Amino acid sequence: MQKYLFKVGPVGLSDGPLLPGIVDFFEEGVAAGKGVVELIGTDVAAFCDDLIKDSPTYADAYQESIRRESGAAGK
């Protein structure tokens, strides 16, 4: 998960609610006696994609900057 999330780069990863939420999720799972696969399934990428589906990523920010530069260059 760490490698995936650091590669995809949700903008608010380090200071937003995502990491504490993940920790809470796993702590609750452990308390309920569940293992990681039981909690997230076998497709880690799909689980992570679902976690960040509404979060802007660095890739989104980069694409937006390219669009702005292209628009400014065309004027």
pLDDT digits (tens, 9 = 90+) for 44-72: 999 999 988 888 888 888 899 999 888 76
What pLDDT, on a 0 to 100 scale, did the predictor assign at position 23? 93
- Confidence bin at 29 (pLDDT 50/70/90): very high
Residues 6+ apart with CB under 8 A from 17: none
Adjacent-strand bridge partners of 10: 57
SS3 47: helix
Average pLDDT, the chain: 88
Residues 6+ apart with CB under 8 A from 48: 1, 4, 5, 8
- DSSP character at residue 33: T
pTM of the model: 0.71
